[in-house]
Amino acid sequence: MTAVRVRLFGPAREAAGTRLEVFEGTTVGEIVAAAVDRYGPQFAALLPACRIWLNGEPVDERCAVAADDELAVLPPVSGGAS
């Protein structure tokens, strides 16, 4: 198992109650599953609309993680001029 920092933004951060946490796993999917176990159904409900990035690059759940990687859970962004 590898320790990976997970940074949470926007509604994902609010649902989890934290900005940064460390999880162990060997793939992005395992890390996300561990976060769902810890943060519960409200957090899980947000994930389908979020992007998951590893070290600044978009990834899917099958991607392997390495020691000291950083995973980010990014909610959809809205805004702009009205």
**Do the domain assignments include residue 67?**
yes
Which domain does 12 fall in, by range? 2-71
The pLDDT of residue 9 is above 60:
yes
Give the DSSP per-residue string, 29-46: HHHHHHHHHHH-HHHHHH
**Do the domain assignments include residue 82?**
no
Output the pTM of the full model: 0.88
For residue 81, the model assigns a pLDDT of 54
- Buried/exposed code over 6-37 (b: 16+ C-beta within 10 A; e: otherwise): bbbeebbbebbeeeebebebebbbbbbebbee
**Residue-wise pLDDT tens digits, 14-41:** 999 999 999 999 999 999 999 999 999 9
Q: Residue 14 and residue 25: Cα distance in Å, rounded? A: 23
How many folded domains does the chain comprise? 1
The pLDDT of residue 50 is above 60:
yes
The pLDDT of residue 11 is above 80:
yes
For residue 78, the model assigns a pLDDT of 54
**CATH number reported for the structural domain that contains residue 55 in this entry:** 3.10.20.30
